[in-house]
Amino acid sequence: DIQMTQSPSSLSASVGDRVTITCRASQNINSYLNWYLQKPGKAPDLLIYGASNLQNGVPSRFGGSGSGTDFTLTISSLEPEDFATYYCQQSYTNPRTFGQGTRVEI
Amino acid sequence: EVQLVESGGGLAQPGGSLRLSCAASGFAFRSYGMNWVRQAPGLGLEWLSHISASGATIYYADSVKGRFTISRDNAKNSLYLQMNTLRVEDTAFYYCARDATSWRDFDPWGQGTLVTVSS
């Protein structure tokens, strides 16, 4: 199975900060990397697919990059509604493993 | 509106069974692969199973292989997860999710249904 490792596991930030979350795959997954945001008590929502494609309706302050084994989610300027948990997921092969999550808090 | 709605969660005893359903609306259900994902309270996301659009191809996570069965009824726009030989560690929120694009990303997700396994 492909292991997905996110870092950091949690971070503290302020509104307006630039935030970067990294995700590393245990083997090459090309660009089959997706990012999700989950708020407490809610289902996850898709942010980025195919490593760098912004999902319809997602604000442009979110961006994704990377290929192969190393990927990055960047939030250019944090808004209050961005405080949540972020997950990466590889969809290159089954099982479609998730990272352990990164909690972004104030 | 593209929507997925799960049902069937509840309390089950260890060794018992439950059948979850996921009702799809707002899109051509028969054209999309579907998935089940779960999340134990306070923990991360775990992919469980995938079924192709036709139902011909199925995959499972090792943690549920041999105990859970995914299926679909394209005429009823519905996805199912039959869960047998339940364990305490199967306690979680269970989500259905659609394979959205050729990148096999998940969108949308249902709201989730809670399964509690306890004696």
pLDDT tens for each residue of A47-91: 999 999 999 999 999 999 999 999 999 999 999 999 999 999 999
Q: How many whole angstroms separate alpha carbon A12 and alpha carbon A2?
A: 29
- Percentage of chain A exceeding pLDDT 70: 100
Tell me the CA distances in angstroms from B110 to A94, B78, B96, one per residue in order.
Answer: 21, 12, 6
Q: Give chain B positions within 8 Å (CB) of A45.
A: 107, 109
pLDDT for A54: 97
State which H helix or E strand residue B87 sits in. none
Q: Quick one: pLDDT band at residue A12, thresholds 50, 70, 90?
A: very high
Q: Which residues of chain B have pLDDT under 70?
A: none
Beta strand segments in chain B, E: 3-7, 10-12, 18-25, 34-39, 45-51, 58-60, 68-73, 78-83, 92-99, 106-109, 113-117
A-to-B residue pairs, Cβ atoms closer than 8 angstroms = 66
pLDDT for A91: 97
Q: Do B46 and A98 touch (CB under 8 A)?
A: yes
How many other CB atoms sit within 10 Å of the CB of residue B54?
A: 11
pLDDT for A106 beyond 90: no
- Could you say which residues from 59 to 78 on chain A have a Cβ atom under 8 Å away from some Cβ of chain B? none
pLDDT for B62: 97
pLDDT for A20 beyond 90: yes
Task: Give the minimum alpha-carbon distance from A78 to chain B in angstroms, rounded to a whole number.
Answer: 23
Task: Give the minimum alpha-carbon distance from A37 to chain B in angstroms, rounded to a whole number.
Answer: 12
Q: Do A89 and B45 touch (CB under 8 A)?
A: yes
- Nearest CB among A43, A91, A98 relative to B44 is that of A98
Q: Which of B107, B111, B114 is the best mutation test for A, with the most CBs of A within 10 A? A: B107
Chain A CB within 8 Å of residue B49 CB: no
Q: What angle do CA B15, B21, B23 make, to 5 degrees?
A: 170
**What type of residue is A99?**
G
How many other CB atoms sit within 10 Å of the CB of residue B52?
A: 14
